[in-house]
Amino acid sequence: QVQLVESGGGPVQAGGSLRLSCAASSVTDSLACMAWFRQAPGKAREGVATLDNGGNPVYGDSAKGRFTVSRDNAKNTLYLQMNNLKPEDTATYYCVAHRNPFHCTHVLVTGVGEFDYMGQGTQVTVSS
């Protein structure tokens, strides 16, 4: 069973930066795609960022121009660099993974679908 462990969240002031990391416990084809999603209290899940099957970044509207997603396959780790953070970015950020390499992009774009694996989440709190 693959485990995803997020880290790097915390409190930050508006305009600041954070770098989230998601470490996978093992190398497996089950991690064909990985992505970041977030959820704030009382709000629906929101797709933040992923890398498509060609390794190209795909971002949700709220992340465009401010966030950068990357993956280190040698370390089985997905990253999310978040700059110019805003109070509306406050949420629990989850790392997810799926065995279908196209699935993460599909869910991020359509908002529909679940994942094979999901981490426990890391809280990001942005104060104004």
Rg (CA), the chain: 13
For residue 23, is pLDDT > 90? yes
Encoded tokens for 84 = 């110019």
Rounded CA separation 10/29 (Å): 31
For residue 118, is pLDDT > 80? yes
pLDDT of residue 5: 96
Average model confidence (pLDDT) across the chain: 95
pLDDT of residue 73: 87
pLDDT of residue 30: 76
In the DSSP assignment, the letter for residue 37 is E
Encoded tokens for 46 = 């929101």
